[in-house]
Structure 1
Amino acid sequence: MADRNKKELFPKREERVPYGGGKPVRTSGKKEKKGKEKKPRRVSAANKGGGKRLSPKQTLILAAAVVVLVVLFVCFRKNGVEVFVADQSMGILKDTSITDTKLKETLEAQLAESVGTAVQINETITVEKIHIGGDKKSQVCTMEYLLPQLRNAVTYKVQASVIFVDGGAVTPLATQTEAEQVLEQLKEPYLPQDETSNAEISFVETVEIQSQFVDSEEILSVEEALNVLTGTTPVTQTYTVQTGDGLAKIAAEYDMTTEELLAANEGMTVSTPIYVGQVLNVIVDEPMVSVKSVETQVLTTVEKKTYEYQQDNTKPSSYQKVIQQGKDGQKKSTIQITRINGFITEEKEVSKEVITEAVPEIIVRGTL
């Protein structure tokens, strides 16, 4: 009896409640193995997607391909630039950022600093990206070494101030100041000596200064430019014979001999008569640049009195009497005088103002 009550006090194993309360835990009745909890197996991306793992052979091929690509990159990548002047190689730089434009600008800036004016390189400078390997390695240099080599290999033009005459370039000078000095010296001999003169000095031709790149050997000094611009060329002009002219006088006026004047007029000899109004050919030395001066003068001149005659039929022909005394007047004339290289080519009255009217003198004459 006691044994049965003892069994009832202790329930069966499967009906026992764990310590701490709660629902009964059912067990399978089998002993569970003690130890660490088993972790779930990781699934690779390839297996997760249903793919297969690379075989050892495929892995080897892939690794070999990667090695080949690396070798090709190392052996053939562009790791430098070769610099050329025209077709001549000047050296190799390791800096792949260098361009032909940048190199040309640097070189022109150095040349400009040495000559004192802007320059323009004649040759074409090119830069080609290359792989530095093999015999190319011996040509590698620095920028400090390359630039002097380039300066010796190129030719260049310098910026000059060029005097143009009627659109044609004539004399290149080093600076604008020198070119302006030449033009002032051309005008100087024809400037009026009278400080009160209002003469305007200019050139007959269209003369201007333009900036242009020229070979440095072409640049002239101020004196050389003056010699070029004052140089003369013989040209044929015409002259109209005036009262009192003779062959010798006309020839001397144009710095010719009589023989040269006759040669310029076909068929004329020393015995050929000339007449007023006749047009003759004359030879003049015309400079490349002619200076024109236009001067305005205001003159006060006498306006001569005029004479008027009246007839008196009652008086003998020997009779003459002044019935109104005449008087000279005065006028103010504005005269414009044009000279070319110092010679008067035109003189005209551009305006007139009467100061005092002239009074005509009236004379009576007999007619019997």
Structure 2
Amino acid sequence: MDSYKSKGWAKTAFESVKRLCSKTQYISLFDRIKKRRPLHRTESLLRTYRLRLLQGVGALGLLASISIGGNEYVQMHTYEVYHVYVGDQLAGTVSDPKVVEEYIIGRVKQLEEDNPNVHMVLNTDEVAYKAEKAYKIQSDDQGTLGNLNELLKSHAVGVQLLVDNKLVGIVKDKETAEVVLNRIKDKYAPQKKEAGRVSVLSAPPEPQVGESVLQSADFIEKIDMNITDIKPEEVAAPDDLVRKLETGDVAPSKYTVVKGDCVGCIAKKLNISKQLIYEKNPWIQDDKIKVGDVLDVTMLKPALTVRTVEKLVESQEIQYETIYEKDDTMRAGETKTIKPGKNGSKKVTFLVTKANGYMVEEELVGEEVVEQPTPEYAKKGTKVILGEGTGKFIWPVVGAKLSDYFGMRWGKMHKGVDITGNRNIMVADNGIVTYTGDKGDGYGNKVVVDHKNGYVTVYGHLSKIETTKGKVLEKGEKIGIMGSTGDSTGVHLHFEIQRNGVPENPLKFLSQ
């Protein structure tokens, strides 16, 4: 095949054929024949020159065949290869980029198997290819991969979890960070179970009576996740990080009861909630503690605070009205039922806001009457007795807003409601004052009014009492100033309605 490489002879043959086939030469030859030769000589000459012409054409065809065959051979032995670079450094030459790609996939897989708890990465973004096509150019796949094994360096990458711009831990990746955060959130924001499965509803349904439905759950603090190069030993186990975020770094704390202490007093003194004291010390019953008792008052300060808002629906009674028929033969205050009444019911909706499970706010957002009460009809004596109530109560505070409700609270019965608003306290119905002062029972300064019809109202935590025992009061008359005396953590009125000695929910008697 060396003859194919030498093109000098082909060029010489081509020039010769070109001369033989020259139009000018052909015409001049024909003219000479016509002028100088007889016909038979002319035919002989034509045969001679035709033979030479055919020889020239044959040579040209042979040249073309040789040229085409040579090109096909060169093309068959011309290869495309890829020079592989890592940054500016040549790693080698491969036959196909897939060789490198498959190597990288295998290398990454091996790194993951060798480092299951750390996310390892290679500097593959520095890999580049340069294609080249040339005659009989060679590639070296294995040699290139060997060089890549040295040039491609691995390093650990993790995710920093920051709370309010403070680093609290490093985890493997963002997915792990999300798992940690969701574990903390789910502790205070349980998912709704439905038909044997657990689902989070994006549009919460309206709760039924006695049901609480989660409306929202989020973190109060600002949370950031930053991807960064790390050392493998810096990665925290998810369980350890959850524990750290939930408990913080606070050591256990104890408190020894001294003379004059009460649960509410201790809570106020230590600036913690009563709920915390009840939860940490479940042995406390009816708020009974004595001097020398040691209370666990550890107040954890977790790094994260889950704020939840729940919609709670309760059914509450509506006290029926009593319609009296006057009877002057009966002593005032005495009654005789003619036709018994029946309490109605209403559906009351609250929005309850909690921080890490502790209630921080409870807002009444709606009432719906389900059943109207049926009035009671009774005879009522008209012999005058001062201080007899009407049985219809007014709010004891103008612009009243509820801050706590009737019912079980923090392990004990809350016998009334807590009200804020205008500081002037008014008596809710006609009655006679039976007590003023502070008994040391947690109510602070309180006023007790007997309405002479089976009802008694209590007004607690007053900063100032402006009535006296035995005084006959008219509905709406001022009896004191709102305060925070006794077992109170803020300025408000504690208001109770008792019927025949039993505490009733004041909201049964008070219209919104």
Instruction: Answer whether TM exceeds 0.5 for this pair.
Output: no
TM-score by length of 2: 0.34
TM-score by length of 1: 0.44
Structure (1 or 2) with the larger CA radius of gyration? 1
